[in-house]
Chains A and B, each alone.
Chain A
Amino acid sequence: MSASVVYALAFYAATAILVIGVVRKIVQYAKTPAPLKIPTMPAPVTQGGVVVRMASEVVLFNSLFKSNKWIWIFGWMFHLSLLLAFIRHLRYVISPDSFLMPIVGFEMVQAFGKYAGFAMLIGLAGLLARRIVVDRVRYISSPSDYLMLILILGIAATGMMMSFVNHVDIVMLKEFMLGLLVFNIQPLPSDIVLLVHLTLVIVLMVIFPVSKLLHAPGVFFSPTRNQVDNSRTKRHLAPWAAELEADRKPGE
């Protein structure tokens, strides 16, 4: 079996694990009731306010900023550059005549995505250094916590090598990726750096739904952040809690 076929099958499997795994967790979170109002106060008193609060958490990492400026700067740099790099990578999977192509192909988008790699390395290195140097963070770290950072560092480093040092045949790569989308396996460039890059990405996809990377969907379901402070004016009752009320007689 050629490397192209192995990677194609691995990508399909990883995608299935990622999508099914994350969707299952999201369904679990969505279906589980939050029986009590527990927003961390002061909290917004309107649904619109909750959207603003959640946005400030997801976009700016507001609570983390209040907590620790070092973790915030490293963490925020890493996540923002991850987003930029992700957008840059879309050019490998959207067809040249897609309406998105002009946006993704825009030079600024590509340049931002390219140089974001440096910010990503700095952010990840900072987080890793804290994990090693700060006694409190070292105490709470398991081998998997270090390895996850190293994994993403590996992805960023191999990606940057291909951007800045050792260019790969991206036309061929794009044909492989576009082929995957229509179940038509095309040859994959047999560049070792690319193969390492893709292998690490596949590992990341597989561990996502069974690891702390679930913080990504999790934050949106966090009752301390997504609940409206309106408990006095609006009665909040979970289905299982409503069932308990069968023991209350009328007038009681």
Chain B
Amino acid sequence: MADFETPELQEYTVVPKLEEGTMAHVKSFTAKPKFQEPLGFPGELVDNWEEAVLTKMDDLRTRYRGFQVFLDSCVKCGACTDKCHYYLGTKDPKNMPVARQDLLRKVYRRYRTFAGKFFGALGIPGFVGAADLDKEVLDDWYSYFHQCSQCRRCSVFCPYGIDTAEISMAAREIMDSVGVGQKYCNEIIGKAQTIGNNLGLPQPALVDTLEGLEEEVEEDTGVAVKFPIDQKGADILLVTPSADFFAEPHVDGLIGYAKVFHEAGASWTMSSHASEAANFGMFIGSYDNMRKLSLRIRKAALDLGVKRIVFGECGHAWRVAYSFLNTLAGPFDFLDQNYPIPQHICEYTHDLIEKDVLKFDKSENDHMTLTFHDSCNVARASNMGDKPGGQIDIPRAVIKAACNNYVDMPVDTIGESTFCCGGGGGLLTDDLMEIRVKGAQPRMEAYKSVVDNHGVTNLAAICAICKAQFTKVLPYYNFGMTDIVSVHQLVGDALILTGSEDDVEAANSDDNNENESE
């Protein structure tokens, strides 16, 4: 199946001894000029690239405080060295967060600090952790900054909050600016900016898919649940990752959202102009591209005249939505201020559960014992509800409302300490399969522990990338590819639709119960 060995799962994650260079060969495909140029990047490596790298680095240092502070503040204490799933899975020391940052920091130190210039002039820049910028360094950047899923686990444990995601975003932006972009991300951003979604699905294809889903659900439940698109005057605009339109188990999540909207009697629509929640502009650290994609959502909301925006299950999309959307595309003064702007589908469903609007037959999910995989961008980069930690509690509350059997994975692998699925941050591409499989090892070990000890059968998630990644990597670790489920798939399966056969049965049995009690 592959030219690398799948790591053997341990009972719990062991910090390995380092082995230099194990992942130096991993290189994601670079973007051709036709994918670079539409995003405003040079098509290929520019002539004076060394100078251009430093110029761009300086530009970012003056625009992003975090970048500057993080470059200066690391004391090399080692707290982060055993926190990255890619280090744990590959043993390559350059996958330790601090070492990954140092690939860039050493260049900053060499050319932009007194210590680096002084010892550099003496010919010993390494004395103060500085190094000359050459092609080898650039190659290392390309390799290792595409082995970071920007999951921020390191930043939780850093005494100064240094976030490697910020460094790797900056590094990717610098590389893009000198003509070295990644094919996967940049091709996708181009599609989303021209067609409206990452998969390049045009409006007729979306309409067709959604009609198919309507038929499927009606056949299944006897209830005409609608999947509206481009419907002007609807109250709610749902923006969801395009994988939800057809990929498994994503589409089951989409069916779940539709059932919830139906049951709530909500007027809602999707948009073909903004048919993508994911925002790959973030992965490449490009404010401009991230903003362009966000403005599509604003435009869709204005054109359709909606009052609310709800986001479907997608991790980094929710980060951009929750943390950045107001900045990038706000102010949203034209929307109904009584609801969070934007709102997560889990918040929406949770609200209805709290208000007792939704009725569940939890036994529908009794064939499963579930655990929840906290997606990194949800757990560590966003929130839900109005209290800290809502992003961790609310999805669990939603699952528990729809399922009887639920067990959490070990505490140091969930919540703010959650392990990335291994495929986030622009790594969900076949040319990075090796790092994806190896990076999934800590999560797979945590999953195995609840499978072995608590009979867990399935893993639920609220992120399109996590779902796609797990579908691919679970089999490498001898789990079933269908172990991964959408949270709203669980909701949709257990939800009793008014007027459905289940509903009628439930009503009848209520009558019977009343009769018996008489």
A interface residues, Cβ below 8 angstroms from B: 25, 28-29, 32-38, 40-45, 49, 57, 61, 63-64, 66-68, 71, 75, 127, 130-131, 134-137, 139-145, 207, 210-212, 214-215, 218-219, 221-225, 229, 231-232, 234-238, 240-241, 244, 248, 251-252
* CB-CB under 8 A for A231 and B63, given A137-B76, A218-B72, A251-B302: no
CB proximity of B163 to chain A, nearest CB, Å = 5
- How far is B382's CA from A166's CA once the two chains are assembled, in angstroms? 58
Are A35's CB and B63's CB within 8 A?
yes
Q: Select one of A38, A136, A207 contacting B166, CB under 8 A.
A: A38
Further pairs besides A219-B160, A229-B383: 4, Cβ < 8 Å: A35-B287, A42-B416, A142-B127, A142-B128
Binary contact readout B290-314 vs A (1 if CB under 8 angstroms, 0 otherwise):
0100010011001000000000000
Q: Select one of B80, B166, B382 contacting A67, CB under 8 A.
A: B80
- List the A residue with the shortest CB-CB distance to B416: A42
Are A252's CB and B298's CB within 8 A?
yes
Q: Select one of B64, B80, B157, B324 contacting A32, CB under 8 A.
A: B64
Q: Select one of B81, B288, B291, B382 contacting A136, CB under 8 A.
A: B81
> Which residues from B are CB-within-8-Å of A131?
78
Are B79's CB and A67's CB within 8 A?
yes
CB proximity of A32 to chain B, nearest CB, Å = 4
CB proximity of A18 to chain B, nearest CB, Å = 13
CB proximity of A21 to chain B, nearest CB, Å = 9
**Interface set, chain B 45-72, CB cutoff 8 A to A:** 61-66, 68-70, 72
- Of the stretches B95-103, B174-182, B464-472, B478-486, the one at the interface is B95-103
Are B68's CB and A29's CB within 8 A?
yes
What 3 pairs between A and B have smallest CB-CB spacing?
A218-B73, A224-B161, A67-B157
- List the B residue with the shortest CB-CB distance to A226: B161
**Interface set, chain B 17-62, CB cutoff 8 A to A:** 17-18, 61-62
- List the A residue with the shortest CB-CB distance to B106: A142
> Which residues from B are CB-within-8-Å of A238?
63
> Which residues from A are CB-within-8-Å of B162?
222, 224
Pairs A–B under 8 Å by Cβ, sample size 22: A28-B68, A32-B65, A40-B155, A41-B379, A44-B388, A68-B82, A134-B78, A135-B17, A139-B18, A142-B76, A210-B115, A211-B115, A214-B72, A215-B75, A218-B72, A219-B73, A221-B65, A224-B66, A232-B342, A235-B327, A235-B331, A244-B291
Q: Select one of A43, A212, A252 contacting B299, CB under 8 A.
A: A252
**Interface set, chain B 299-355, CB cutoff 8 A to A:** 299, 302, 322-324, 326-327, 330-331, 340-342
CB proximity of B237 to chain A, nearest CB, Å = 16
B200 at the interface (CB under 8 A from A): no
> Which residues from A are CB-within-8-Å of B68?
28-29, 32
- How far is B63's CA from A238's CA once the two chains are assembled, in angstroms? 9
* CB-CB under 8 A for A67 and B83, given A41-B391, A41-B416: yes
> Which residues from A are CB-within-8-Å of B63?
32-33, 35, 238, 240
* CB-CB under 8 A for A139 and B93, given A45-B387, A212-B76: yes
- How far is B162's CA from A131's CA once the two chains are assembled, in angstroms? 20
> Which residues from A are CB-within-8-Å of B233?
none
> Which residues from B are CB-within-8-Å of A231?
322-324, 326-327
- List the A residue with the shortest CB-CB distance to B67: A32
* CB-CB under 8 A for A35 and B64, given A42-B416, A140-B99, A212-B75: yes
Are A38's CB and B386's CB within 8 A?
no
Are A36's CB and B324's CB within 8 A?
yes
- How far is B320's CA from A37's CA once the two chains are assembled, in angstroms? 10
B152 at the interface (CB under 8 A from A): yes
> Which residues from B are CB-within-8-Å of A134?
78
B122 at the interface (CB under 8 A from A): no
- How far is B102's CA from A135's CA once the two chains are assembled, in angstroms? 17
- How far is B326's CA from A236's CA once the two chains are assembled, in angstroms? 7
- How far is B93's CA from A27's CA once the two chains are assembled, in angstroms? 35
> Which residues from B are CB-within-8-Å of A144?
115, 127-129
- How far is B330's CA from A144's CA once the two chains are assembled, in angstroms? 46
> Which residues from B are CB-within-8-Å of A137?
76-78, 81
B159 at the interface (CB under 8 A from A): yes
> Which residues from A are CB-within-8-Å of B96?
136, 139-140
- How far is B342's CA from A70's CA once the two chains are assembled, in angstroms? 42
- How far is B82's CA from A68's CA once the two chains are assembled, in angstroms? 10
- List the A residue with the shortest CB-CB distance to B15: A136
Are A32's CB and B61's CB within 8 A?
yes
Are B76's CB and A140's CB within 8 A?
yes
Are B76's CB and A145's CB within 8 A?
yes
- How far is B395's CA from A41's CA once the two chains are assembled, in angstroms? 16
- Among B17, B77, B160, the one with the most A-chain Cβ atoms within 10 Å of its Cβ is B77
> Which residues from A are CB-within-8-Å of B386?
45
- List the B residue with the shortest CB-CB distance to A54: B161
Are B340's CB and A232's CB within 8 A?
yes
> Which residues from B are CB-within-8-Å of A36?
287, 323-324, 327
> Which residues from B are CB-within-8-Å of A42?
383, 388-389, 391-392, 416
- How far is B77's CA from A224's CA once the two chains are assembled, in angstroms? 18
Q: Select one of B93, B126, B160, B382 contacting A41, CB under 8 A.
A: B382
CB proximity of B91 to chain A, nearest CB, Å = 10
> Which residues from A are CB-within-8-Å of B508?
none
* CB-CB under 8 A for A40 and B159, given A25-B72, A139-B93, A232-B340: no
- How far is B219's CA from A150's CA once the two chains are assembled, in angstroms? 75
Are A64's CB and B159's CB within 8 A?
yes
- List the A residue with the shortest CB-CB distance to B20: A139
CB proximity of B164 to chain A, nearest CB, Å = 11
Are B126's CB and A215's CB within 8 A?
no
Are A37's CB and B327's CB within 8 A?
yes
CB proximity of A17 to chain B, nearest CB, Å = 10
CB proximity of A153 to chain B, nearest CB, Å = 16
CB proximity of A118 to chain B, nearest CB, Å = 22
- List the A residue with the shortest CB-CB distance to B329: A248
* CB-CB under 8 A for A218 and B160, given A140-B102, A212-B73, A224-B155: yes
Q: Select one of A25, A75, A136, A229 contacting B388, CB under 8 A.
A: A229
- How far is B156's CA from A32's CA once the two chains are assembled, in angstroms? 23
> Which residues from A are CB-within-8-Å of B330?
235
Are A66's CB and B75's CB within 8 A?
no
* CB-CB under 8 A for A64 and B72, given A42-B383, A139-B96: no
